[in-house]
Structure 1
Amino acid sequence: MKYLRLYFLFALIFSSTLVSHAQTPEDRIKELGLNLPEVGEPMGTYVKWRQVGNVIYLAGNGPDVFGKVGSDLTLEEGYQAARETGVEILAVLKAACGGDLNRIKQFVKVLGMVNSAPDFTDHPKVINGFSDLMVEVFGDDGKHARSAVGVAALPNNIAVEIEVIVELKE
């Protein structure tokens, strides 16, 4: 029994070490094996972000995944599209923060729009692809208030579009 307790204590310590996250968002991005893309130009007459005080508002971002979730794409493919959008948003946030994601204090609000078939109703499960990634990268500071809605169409038939509001450290 004594050895069993020691085994469980060792297993608990060892497993918590394995799942511990690096200290900075940049370290976590590396741990996850993510490569942030170059930030492209806006598709229209707008800017990718606007800073007001210590708050950054991001324009909508979407993935290179096309079609309607629930008819052209599965829920899982929609989830991955939202996660891919999260990688794009990390790149935009990094640019907006002058190259330092450590400046982000917390995520405030997220609007996730899903290009969905009329009878598809799992929009929150799709946008979890984005939300889960932000928590993986920022921990509790990546948690946010959120709306996840289905829409009839998105620009260029992208699968999802996500807008973000973050607060910067002072």
Structure 2
Amino acid sequence: MSSDFEQRLEEMGLSLPDAPAPAANYVPFVVVGNTVYVSGQVAVNADGMIKGKVGADLTTEEGAKAAEVCALALLAQAKKACGGDISRLKRVVKLTGFVNSTPDFVDQPKVINGASDLFVALLGDKGRHARSAVSAGALPFNVAVEIEGIFEIS
């Protein structure tokens, strides 16, 4: 899967970031048996954190792009948990997505689709997962999106 995965990333014009360091007193991931629990990853691109409230400062589409950025960070953490060998990733099990949104915004699932769609595009059926998409009145550093994930590895 490693070469297929890397090829798909390249075809999509994407790359994995370095696995982000934790911003507080926690670890970026925990491995228990064949399960990797990845701490919430916030939306950070080359320009810095993607900040603001979806529904006021950002559109649904911009929020979905922020979720895609979170998905890449999740994959970077999963790869690190696999000792750098992404071929050990068997499947995405579950995502919990938090959207910094206005009280009247109701399209959180469309925002988190940015991550879900990326996982399926990169991993096929191994990328299909259970999921929650919830609104948050605020997120750390005023980021637009934060997503945590659970992965199965070999």
Report the TM-score when normalising by structure 2: 0.92
Distance in 2 (CA, whole Å) between partners of 1:164 and 1:121 is 22
User: Which residue identity is paired with 2:28?
Assistant: K
Contact 1:26 1:101 in 2 (8 A): no
Corresponding position of 2:24: 44
Q: 1:32 aligns with which of 12, 24, 30?
A: 12
Which is richer in strand? 2
Amino-acid identity (%): 52
Structure 1 consecutive aligned stretches of length 4 or more whose deviation exceeds 2 Å: none
Q: 2:39 aligns with which of 47, 52, 59?
A: 59
Supply the RMSD in Å over aligned alpha carbons: 1.3
Q: CA deviation at 1:97?
A: 1.1
Distance in 1 (CA, whole Å) between partners of 2:127 and 2:30 is 19
Structure with higher Rg: it is 1
Matched, 1:137 2:122: yes
Corresponding position of 2:113: 128
Q: CA deviation at 1:164?
A: 0.3
User: Which residue identity is paired with 2:39?
Assistant: A
Corresponding position of 2:135: 150
Deviation per residue, 1:22-61 (Å, 9 max, x gap): 9622221122221221223210110000000000000000
Corresponding position of 1:75: 60
Corresponding position of 1:114: 99
Matched, 1:90 2:75: yes
User: Which residue identity is paired with 2:51?
Assistant: F
Report the TM-score when normalising by structure 1: 0.83
